[in-house]
Amino acid sequence: MIDDNNGSSTYYAPIEYIAVASDEGRSLRDILRKRIGISRRLMVKLKTSDEGLSVNGQKVWPNHPISEGDVIRLRMETEISETILPQPIDLDIVFEDDHLLVLNKPAGIIVHPTTGHYLNTLANGVTHYWQERGERIRFRPVHRLDENTSGLVIIAKHPLAQQQLSAQMMEGTVVKEYRTFVYGRPPESEGEINAPIGRQTEDPHRRVVREDGAPSQTFYKVSASYLDQASAIDIRLGTGRTHQIRVHMTSIGCPIIGDGYYSEDKWTNSDLAARLSGSIQRQALHAFRLGFDHPVTGEAMILEAALPEDMLKLESELRMIER
């Protein structure tokens, strides 16, 4: 973070762009939108900020003409999450720079506070972490994981990073890969599930495959099979619906081990379920890999998080089936 000369306000680290030959004669507004991807909303914030926009060190307006070699600088004012209470929580940081933070979320913790659940969330821990470092940053999760799903979560540190990463999510260019362990074995060793997902009429919190649901796409590949009683599966998401993997795996007769909400009686009451009950106390689902373009530098990023202990224990127990 950067203080201004009076120390009265703070700014995120400046973002710079050097104009190239094809930018000659274009307006600053045009460059910001088409080269950097600034939204109209963020443009307004930058324009009204004292030092939001400058060219070669001079404050300018969005209609300012640009010449080759001009140094365009953006300085976004910091914001804080006033409604999120700081709370010390152990964080497994996989990557961090001035623009984003990527965490390996443990199972049993939700990402953001909800009604009646104001503490013990990822947001509380991250807010405390930044506060301890003297940083004024608003908590901006780009996506979320279910409470009992572990793995990688991206948090943007400023509006531009959030805007760029959210756009990648919407365009489907972010690679999201999961490892899960399921009962049974899918009909094919590798396949695609295209089945619309919507709310269940009787229980609006529960999702089901239904004709009038939202289009949903899941790609899977069986990486190991345990005498056809269970399988280890790698999954890549084509869309990101609520509970998508859990619903889709159940829809093909392979509910996730440990997932009591979307399981089936024939598996829940099976001898195998009883045998595995001591290995894992939640759905065996872990977001182990994320691939995306850095929201500011454009660098291709691939980040990974190893399987947590409970899933390693489950995997070890499943391997015993074959002996």
Assess whether pLDDT exceeds 80 at residue 11.
Answer: no
Beta strands in 135-284 (DSSP E): 140-141, 150-156, 175-183, 190-194, 197-199, 207-209, 217-226, 230-237
pLDDT in tens, 303-319: 999 999 999 999 999 99
pLDDT in tens, 119-171: 999 999 999 999 999 888 999 999 999 999 999 999 999 999 999 999 999 99
Assess whether pLDDT exceeds 70 at residue 6.
Answer: no
pLDDT in tens, 255-269: 999 998 998 888 988
Beta strands in 63-159 (DSSP E): 71-74, 93-96, 100-105, 140-141, 150-156
Arithmetic mean of pLDDT, 26-44: 86
Q: Which is the catalytic residue, given 23, 70, 146, 310?
A: 146
Q: What's the pTM value of the predicted model, to 2 decimals?
A: 0.87
What average pLDDT does the chain have?
A: 91
Is position 97 annotated as part of the catalytic site?
no
Q: What domains appear along the chain, each with residue ranges and CATH number?
A: 2-74 (3.10.290.10), 93-171 (3.30.2350.10), 175-320 (3.30.2350.10)
pLDDT for 322: 65
pLDDT for 5: 41
